[in-house]
Amino acid sequence: MSDLDIRVQGRAGRITLTRPKALNALSYDMCLALDAALKAWRDDDRVALIILDAEGEKAFCAGGDIAQLYDTGTAGDYGYARRFWRDEYRMNARLAEYPKPVVSLMQGFVMGGGVGIGCHGSHRVVGDSTRIAMPETGIGLVPDVGGSLLLAGAPGRLGEYLGLTTARMGPGDAIRAGFADHYLPEQDWPGLVERLCATGELAALTEATSPAPEAVYAAQTQRIDRIFGAGDITAIRAAAESDDCDFARDAAKALNRNSPLSMALTLDMLDRLRPAATIRDALRQEYRATWRVIEHGDFLEGIRAQIIDKDRNPKWRYADAVVPASVVTDLLAPLGEDELTFD
């Protein structure tokens, strides 16, 4: 298909996103095609490893293509979004559990759906332009595509900070947080790809990578742990607002900007995932949340305010940040016959 270039080159199965003008946003058809390629190459002896990359300098993949989710959702059709997420999450699980090495080369923006395809493989490469984020609470969703598992595994309360504020990570923080493994200057990426394709061996990657740049958020560890370990959304906001420094002030602005319901869901999701969860545990929980928030949450309003009308003035539910615990519990309850499966 025109939005993906899928081919076998030497010993590598190659998948390149080819929508640079759209920041390589991931459509439903792209999810299905990517998943089909992974299935086809699983037992193909020609393919020793997979390489995932993207055209353009601005973005590896800046997220999902959500226009149709909005159009169908506002028309009262929630089935399209649920099918999209179901099949996308199954593809995310396949990447995370793939039996062959998966090398992802992530330049520029890597957000939302881009994290789902770029940050679950076995060998994740970042460069100086890389900016990784989970921006979902800003549009009334929750960190999904397996991103909740990555956030739950980040040091201390860094996952809460990233998930609630939607803050972006450069290459050093991405590696420290567990979203990436290797740093390599982007001018060296073509040579790396050439060697991987020629040999089908990962030695080319380990020999090429350089020491990671500084992890900027590491210097804020104590502050992040104190603020984002304060309790519920109201307590976290109060802790951020009481700390007189630029970092805390920026965090407080984000906490007052993003969906309180989505932030409350995110807090609970990360807490539930911390006891030795798997990618399937995370995706199943995410699906419970996204299945319901398309109809009963802030997602459609968030898309309207941020992307459709662009008034940046969403009318959030629970705008006072007092989200009843029973609401969160109900939104994360099992879905019965609609539960996400991985068959």
Which residue out of 13, 35, 63, 64 is catalytically annotated?
64
Which residue out of 144, 181, 268, 286 is catalytically annotated?
144
Separation between Cα atoms, residue 270 and residue 285, nearest integer Å: 10
| Encoded tokens for 314 | 């969403």
Among this protein's residues, is 268 annotated catalytic? Answer: no
Which residue out of 13, 108, 112, 113 is catalytically annotated?
113
Q: Are 11 and 64 within 8 A, CB to CB?
A: no
Separation between Cα atoms, residue 233 and residue 123, nearest integer Å: 35
Exposure on the CB side of residue 237, measured as CA atoms within 13 A: 17
Among this protein's residues, is 64 annotated catalytic? Answer: yes
**Short-list 237, 267, 120, CA closest to 180:** 120
- 3-state SS, one letter per residue, for the chain: CCCEEEEEECCEEEEEECCHHHCCCECHHHHHHHHHHHHHHCCCCCCCEEEEEECCCCEEECCECCHHHHHHHHCCCCHHHHHHHHHHHHHHHHHHCCCCCEEEEECEEEECHHHHHHCCCCEEEECCCCEEECCHHHHCCCCCCCHHHHHHHCCCCHHHHHHHHCCCECHHHHHHHCCCCEECCHHHHHHHHHHHHHHCCCHHHHHHCECCCCCHHHHHHHHHHHHHCCCCHHHHHHHHHCCCCHHHHHHHHHHHHCCHHHHHHHHHHHHHHCCCCCHHHHHHHHHHHHHHHHHHCCHHHHHHHHHHCCCCCCCCCCCCCCCCHHHHHHHCCCCHHHCCCCC
Neighbours of 242 (CB within 10 A): 11
Which residue out of 35, 53, 88, 136 is catalytically annotated?
136
Among this protein's residues, is 113 annotated catalytic? Answer: yes
Separation between Cα atoms, residue 91 and residue 178, nearest integer Å: 20
| Encoded tokens for 252 | 């407080």
Among this protein's residues, is 201 annotated catalytic? Answer: no
Catalytic positions are: 64, 113, 136, 144
